[in-house]
A and B are shown apart, each in its own frame.
Chain A
Amino acid sequence: GAGVSQSPSNKVTEKGKDVELRCDPISGHTALYWYRQSLGQGLEFLIYFQGNSAPDKSGLPSDRFSAERTGGSVSTLTIQRTQQEDSAVYLCASSLDVFVRGYTFGSGTRLTVV
């Protein structure tokens, strides 16, 4: 596609439920990154993929968070047993590869846990 697409754009969920956030990167981009933007913490790195592999998961805040990428394309970020502190905007970015440093960001998914 022309840009990075994220869905849903907004998600309200009840505490304790699981949620899945989707990212469609730009076609041909092998590197994909997830970030979280919250009021208290700013923009935090969560995980990145090179192809379908995730060499760095160091930013995932707990084992309730997981992500996968299939076919070197779409990525899904899953949050299990959501907590109120998970409320944030989740941003996805893609780059041609990890060395190019040309990131394009999606518009994000705003997650609200009530």
Chain B
Amino acid sequence: AQKVTQAQTEISVVEKEDVTLDCVYETRDTTYYLFWYKQPPSGELVFLIRRNSFDEQNEISGRYSWNFQKSTSSFNFTITASQVVDSAVYFCALSEDGGTSYGKLTFGQGTILTVHP
């Protein structure tokens, strides 16, 4: 069965600090997809990134970067020079490619990030 673990329940940083959110996953599939979502106080889940299991290249998008390592089953997310607007709950999620549940997302428990001015 697939599982996603976000060990950090809450993180608090001061603006301009760098912060890394950890995500570890478990799956038996060789083909799968990993995601990060942001949930601001408004409640809507905002898509940040999708990665498939065959693409281990790290990705950078502005202040955001992602480190995907299959060897450790991790997909960590780093925010550089954090800002108050980054305060939100961040979810890591996994979607397998087999069985009848195509596209079903399994979410981690989420990490509450608070960035103080």
Smallest CB separation, B104 vs chain A (Å): 5
B62: which A residues are within 8 A, CB to CB? none
Smallest CB separation, B4 vs chain A (Å): 10
For chain B, give the interface size range.
Answer: 20 to 34
Beta-carbon contact of B45 and A91 below 8 Å: yes
- DSSP class of B's interface residues: helix, strand, loop or mixed? loop
B47: which A residues are within 8 A, CB to CB? 102-105
Beta-carbon contact of A98 and B45 below 8 Å: no
- B105 interfacial by beta-carbon distance below 8 Å: yes
Closest to A110 in B: B43
Closest to A47 in B: B104
How far is it, in angstroms, between the C-alpha of A42 and the C-alpha of B109 when the chains are bound?
Answer: 5
Smallest CB separation, A48 vs chain B (Å): 6
- Given A42-B110, A43-B91: A98 and B102 interface contact (C-beta under 8 Å): yes
B101: which A residues are within 8 A, CB to CB? 45, 48, 55-56, 58
Beta-carbon contact of A45 and B44 below 8 Å: no
Closest to A106 in B: B44
- B61 interfacial by beta-carbon distance below 8 Å: no
- A31 interfacial by beta-carbon distance below 8 Å: yes
How far is it, in angstroms, between the C-alpha of A58 and the C-alpha of B37 when the chains are bound?
Answer: 23
A104: which B residues are within 8 A, CB to CB? 47
| Interface residues as binary, A12-25 with B (CB distance below 8 Å gives 1, 0 otherwise) | 00000000000000
27 contacts between A and B (CB under 8 A): A33-B103, A33-B105, A35-B105, A42-B107, A42-B110, A43-B105, A43-B110, A45-B101, A45-B104, A45-B105, A48-B104, A55-B101, A56-B101, A56-B104, A91-B45, A93-B105, A99-B102, A101-B33, A101-B35, A101-B50, A101-B103, A102-B50, A105-B47, A107-B43, A108-B43, A108-B44, A110-B43
- A residues with a Cβ closer than 8 A to B are 31, 33, 35, 42-45, 48, 50, 55-56, 58, 89, 91, 93, 95, 98-99, 101-108, 110
